[in-house]
């Protein structure tokens, strides 16, 4: 059981602040995922929680106890790194037992902890093997098992799947989800740059950008109700299309005349005072549909990517505008070099002004 609270936490290297105004309340049993672009500070924040980086401002507590100056070994935290960091000359059993032996646990306690972790991670048949006799996914499970045997308050994962190939990443991701199900009261914090990992594993996602938190929410909250343009484009693949325009009708439904000549309707209510407001209309590629009626966008398909269940259409750029991307169900290779009109459901339209969603004004 562990409740983590970060209040006004900062990290600075000399005069340079790399993280600022970090405020997070992580509840017992949550699996929190930190995501963001390279260099946003997600691994640094994780290392600050672990005690491997010094907190230069604010307070970090676990169950009400201030941890800022507590050594890593005394925080009740176990960390799984990107590299497996297994001792190559030790068996799986000895790798998992090492930290417990250092802590001078009895052999009976060690055996019980190893048997429990091995059972959870399905490692029992491999306990007497050396790491070189294991697959990459099995080695990562041993690294996770080494954390489990310590029975920590908090588990930290720093991009644990990035060294695995695609098939192993999927399999190991499922195993981590099953591990969380088997340990419902364990608090876990997971760092990744992979959106699929974030969306499938997280209780809540913390999106980091520009040295701070861009938004915190459940995966579907971030997908369906992004607070700003950054989160809107960062969550989802391909990224959300942002089309500039101007509000021409207000009320229960907002109508935007787009710079590309299209019309967008949104079920986001606006006021008469918003008439003429310059906005960006956000539509996810999967929410665009070919239409013969009113179009949000009309353009020539430059490239198609047939993935089987969907086809991704890349449209020719119109001047300096960003490229529009659509994701249509089924196979549509015949649309290459064709002009296509795209519409969307008004309920799926997002509106942003000055980078912020009109939903959060």
**Confidence at residue 220, expressed as pLDDT on a 0 to 100 scale:** 95
Q: Which of 42-56, 136-150, 280-294 has the lowest mean pLDDT?
A: 136-150
pLDDT tens-digit map of 193-202: 888 899 999 9
Same domain, 98 and 227: yes
Q: Are residues 215 and 324 in the same domain?
A: no
Q: Are residue 226 and residue 248 in the same domain, yes or no?
A: no
Select from 189, 210, 234 the last residue of a domain.
234
176 vs 207, which has greater pLDDT? 207
| 200-255 pLDDT tens trace | 999 999 999 989 999 999 999 999 999 999 999 999 989 999 999 999 999 999 99
Tell me how far CA of residue 199 lies from CA of 114, 262, 289, 312, in angstroms. Answer: 31, 32, 24, 21
341 is written with which tokens? Answer: 């009109």
Prediction pTM value? 0.90
What are the tens digits of pLDDT across the range 77-106? 999 887 778 889 999 999 999 989 988 889
Is residue 321 domain-shared with residue 228, that is, in the same domain?
Answer: no
Instruction: Note the pLDDT tens digit of each residue in 330-340.
Output: 998 899 999 99
Domain boundary among 215, 234, 253: 234
Which pLDDT tens digit goes with each residue over 4-38?
999 999 999 988 999 999 999 999 999 999 999 98
Token pair belonging to 256:
């935007």
Nearest in space to 76 (alpha carbons), one of 158, 24, 185, 2: 2
Q: Which domain, by its residues, includes 263?
A: 241-360
CATH label of the domain that carries residue 248: 2.40.50.140
Is pLDDT at 73 greater than 90 in this prediction?
A: no
The pLDDT value given to residue 264: 96
How is 86-108 classified by DSSP, letter by letter?
--TTS-HHHHHHHHHHHTT--HH
Spell out the residues 6+ positions from residue 294 whose beta carbon is closer than 8 angstroms to its own: 263, 265, 343
pLDDT value at position 288? 95
pLDDT confidence band for 121 (50 / 70 / 90): confident
Inform me whether the pLDDT recorded for 259 exceeds 90. Answer: yes
Lookup: tokens for 239: 């990224």
Last residue of a domain, which of 195, 211, 234? 234
* Angle between the N-to-C axes of helices 136-148 and 92-102, in degrees from 0 to 180, rounded to the nearest 10: 20
Among the listed residues 159, 179, 139, 197, the one whose alpha carbon sits nearest the alpha carbon of residue 47: 159
- Domain total of the chain: 2
Tokens describing residue 342: 């795209």
Percent of the chain topping pLDDT 70? 100
Q: Does the pLDDT of residue 261 top 80, yes or no?
A: yes
Q: pLDDT-derived band of residue 120, with 50, 70 and 90 as boundaries? A: confident
Query: For residue 1, is pLDDT > 70?
Result: no
* Contact residues for 93 (Cβ-Cβ < 8 A; gap 6+): 114, 127, 128
Are 99 and 143 found together in one domain?
yes
| Same domain (yes/no): 185, 289 | no
Q: Are residues 201 and 257 in the same domain?
A: no
255 and 228 both lie in a single domain: no
Token pair recorded at residue 291: 């239409």
Other CB atoms within 10 A of residue 196 CB: 12
If asked whether residues 151 and 287 sit together in one domain, one would say no
Sequence-distant contacts of 123-130: CB under 8 A, at least 24 apart: 123/92, 126/92, 127/91, 127/92, 127/93, 128/91, 128/92, 128/93, 129/91, 129/92, 130/88, 130/89, 130/90, 130/91, 130/92
Whether residue 164 has pLDDT greater than 80: no
Together in a domain, 79 and 184: yes
Residues 230 and 256 in one domain: no
- 272 shares its domain with 174: no
| Mean pLDDT of the chain, nearest integer | 92
The CATH number of residue 157's host domain is 3.40.50.300
């Amino acid at each position: 059981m562990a409740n983590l609270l970060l209040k006004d936490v900062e990290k600075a290297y000399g005069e340079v602040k790399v993280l600022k105004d970090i405020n997070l309340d992580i509840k017992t049993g949550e699996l929190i995922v930190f995501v963001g672009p390279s260099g946003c500070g997600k691994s640094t924040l994780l290392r600050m929680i672990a005690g491997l980086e010094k907190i230069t401002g604010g307070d970090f507590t676990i169950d009400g106890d201030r941890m800022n100056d507590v050594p890593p070994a005394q925080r009740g935290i176990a960390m799984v790194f990107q590299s497996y960091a297994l001792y190559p000359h030790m068996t799986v059993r000895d790798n998992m037992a090492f930290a417990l032996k250092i802590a001078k646990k009895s052999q009976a306690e060690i055996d019980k902890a190893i048997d429990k972790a091995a059972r959870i991670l399905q490692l029992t048949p491999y306990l007497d093997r050396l790491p070189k006799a294991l697959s990459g996914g099995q080695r990562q499970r041993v690294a996770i098992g080494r954390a489990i045997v310590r029975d920590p308050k908090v588990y930290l994962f720093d991009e644990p799947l990035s060294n695995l190939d695609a098939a192993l990443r999927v399999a190991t991701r499922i195993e981590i989800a099953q591990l969380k199900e088997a340990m419902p009261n364990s608090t876990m914090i997971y760092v990744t740059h992979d959106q699929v990992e974030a969306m499938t594993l997280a209780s809540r996602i913390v999106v980091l950008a520009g040295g701070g938190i861009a938004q915190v929410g459940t995966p579907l909250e971030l997908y369906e109700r992004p607070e700003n343009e950054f989160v809107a484009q960062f969550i989802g693949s391909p990224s959300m299309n942002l089309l500039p325009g101007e509000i021409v009708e207000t009320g229960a439904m907002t109508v935007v005349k787009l710079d590309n000549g299209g019309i967008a309707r949104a079920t986001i209510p606006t006021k008469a005072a918003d008439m003429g407001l310059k906005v960006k209309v956000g539509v996810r590629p999967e929410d665009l549909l070919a239409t013969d009626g009113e179009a949000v966008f009309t353009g020539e398909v430059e490239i198609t990517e047939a993935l089987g269940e969907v086809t991704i259409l890349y449209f020719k750029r119109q001047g300096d505008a960003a490229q529009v991307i659509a994701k249509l169900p089924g196979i549509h290779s015949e649309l290459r070099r064709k002009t296509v009109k795209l519409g969307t459901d008004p309920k799926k339209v997002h509106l942003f002004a000055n980078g912020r969603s009109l939903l959060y004004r």
